[in-house]
């Protein structure tokens, strides 16, 4: 199965490197000419994954039509660009492995719902979990969820992309895998705020736990299974992203906690902090479903500049006391 990688940010490059490292010729589509040039001539993605040598068997192109002969695509563009990129992919019913973590603005659709709308003839899978790109690209041990309703497709994809250091686990719960990845980015912003404002480790642990309760409530309302939300793509990724400034979402939150504005922090950045886009869409989707997500709402207020850090923290702490399972 020849796999084409669509998107050459940090994550697309790390996945391409994982596949290409064992000698397989691998083709990656990059939007930027300088990224194509950097991968081709220096075997490095200097813009999005600097300092990590890439396999010479990895070839980059700016021309999506060159991917026509691939048998499956790993689609690794940011969530808000998925629809446009899928529309521009060469026609064909190849399986799509969706790797973005987010919810689409305007529609409130999960990534697999966008893919089904744009390419109804293509089977869909989702790849999501606790996976910092720079660690995967260096060959450090990583486990990840691969979700597909069609078990045979899921197992064929796993057989193709698994490596000794890169272990995909199968589930048929596509919505569950996507909800975890989308919601954890918003919660990571909240944990970054705790770090930036110096609120302490107890507060961070409380946010992870109560954030996970929000993720679970929302996921169950979207038809996800609790076991998926408690797995690699949910709790696993939540713990990773809420623990490290290697996370762009956590770093964004840290800046907010230090008193900088979201507009300032997001201006001119080339890399993506998906939680900033997902937060308001998630808040609206939760409201439609009648799901209470106070931490997500607090992140939205901060991102919009509607309230100070101290105000949103005070509001969260003054909520009525309740049972833990509610």
Ligand X SMILES: O=P(O)(O)OC[C@H](O)CO
Q: Which residues sit at the interface with ligand NAD, rule CB under 6 A?
A: 7-12, 31-32, 48, 76-79, 81, 85, 99-102, 131-133, 271-272, 274
Residue 184 catalytic? yes
Residue 99 binds which of ligand X, ligand NAD, none (CB < 5-8 A, kind-dependent): ligand NAD
DSSP 178: H
From edge to edge, which strands make up the β-sheet containing 96-98? 58-61, 26-29, 3-6, 72-75, 96-98, 124-128, 142-148, 166-171
- DSSP assignments along 235-268, one per residue: IIHHHHHTS-TTSHHHHHHHHHHTT--HHHHHTT
Which residue in 45, 77, 131, 278 binds ligand X (CB under 6 A)? 131
Contacts with ligand X in 261-280 (CB under 6 A)?
A: 274
130: partner contacted, choices ligand NAD, ligand X, none (Cβ within 5-8 A by kind) = ligand X
Which of 67, 77, 83, 101 is the binder for ligand X (CB under 6 A)?
Answer: 101
Instruction: Give how far the C-alpha of residue 177 lies from the chain's centroid of Cα atoms, to the nearest Å.
Output: 10
Among the listed residues 241, 257, 278, 296, the single contact to ligand X using CB under 6 A:
241
Query: Is 24 assigned a ligand-binding role in the annotation?
Result: no
Closest CB to ligand X among residues 123, 219: 219
132 binds ligand X (CB under 6 A): yes
Identity of the residue, 123 or 168, whose beta carbon is nearer to ligand X in the bound complex:
168
According to the annotation, is 11 in a ligand binding site?
yes
Q: Do 298 and 315 contact (CB within 8 A), yes or no?
A: yes
Count of beta carbons in the 10 Å neighbourhood of residue 185? 30
Question: Which of ligand X, ligand NAD, none has residue 79 at its interface (CB below 5 to 8 Å by kind)?
Answer: ligand NAD
User: Contact 178/111 with Cβ under 8 angstroms?
Assistant: yes
CB of 185 to ligand X, least distance (A): 6
User: Which residue's CB atom is positioned nearest to ligand NAD?
Assistant: 9
Pick 5 or 302: Cβ nearer ligand NAD: 5
Dihedral sign (CA 251, 257, 262, 268): negative
| 3-class DSSP assignment, residue 55 | coil
Burial of 325 (0-12, 13-18, 19+ CB in 10 A): exposed
Q: If binding is defined by CB under 6 A, does position 80 make contact with ligand X?
A: no
Shortest spacing between CB 307 and ligand NAD, in angstroms: 26
Residue-wise over 93-125: b if at least 16 C-beta within 10 A, else e? ebbbbbbbbbbbeeeebbbbbbbbebbeebbbb
Q: Is 7 annotated as a binding residue?
A: yes
Residues within the interface to ligand X (CB under 6 A): 101, 130-132, 185, 188, 237, 240-241, 247-249, 274
* Active site amino acids: 184
């Amino acid at each position: 199965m020849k796999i084409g990688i669509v998107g050459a940010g940090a994550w697309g490059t790390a996945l391409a490197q994982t596949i290409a490292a064992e000698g397989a010729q691998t083709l990656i589509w990059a939007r930027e000419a300088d990224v194509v040039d950097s991968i081709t001539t220096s075997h490095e993605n200097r813009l999005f994954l600097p300092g990590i040598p890439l396999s010479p068997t990895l070839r980059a192109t700016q021309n999506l039509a060159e991917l026509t002969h691939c048998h499956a695509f790993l689609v690794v563009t940011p969530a808000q660009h998925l629809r446009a990129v899928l529309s521009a992919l060469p026609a064909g019913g190849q399986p799509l492995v969706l790797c973005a973590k987010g919810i689409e603005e305007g529609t409130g659709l999960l990534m697999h719902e966008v893919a089904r709308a744009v390419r109804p003839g293509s089977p869909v899978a989702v790849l999501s979990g606790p996976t910092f790109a720079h660690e995967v690209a260096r060959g450090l041990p990583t486990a990840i969820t691969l979700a597909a309703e069609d078990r045979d497709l899921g197992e064929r994809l796993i057989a193709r992309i698994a490596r000794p250091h890169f272990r995909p686990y199968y589930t048929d719960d596509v919505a569950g895998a996507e909800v975890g990845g989308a919601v954890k980015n918003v919660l990571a912003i909240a944990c970054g705020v705790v770090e930036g404002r110096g609120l302490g480790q107890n507060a961070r642990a409380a946010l992870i736990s109560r954030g996970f309760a929000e993720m679970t409530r929302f996921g169950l309302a979207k038809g996800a299974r609790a076991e998926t939300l408690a797995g690699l793509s949910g709790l696993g990724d939540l713990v990773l992203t809420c623990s490290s400034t290697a996370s762009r979402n956590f770093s964004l939150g840290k800046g907010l906690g230090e008193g900088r504005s979201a507009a300032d922090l997001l201006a001119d950045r080339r890399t993506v902090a998906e939680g900033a886009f997902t937060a308001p869409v998630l808040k609206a989707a939760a409201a439609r479903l009648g799901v209470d997500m106070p931490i997500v709402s607090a992140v939205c207020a901060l991102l919009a500049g509607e309230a100070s850090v101290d105000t949103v923290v005070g509001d969260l702490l003054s909520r009525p006391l309740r049972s833990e399972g509610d």
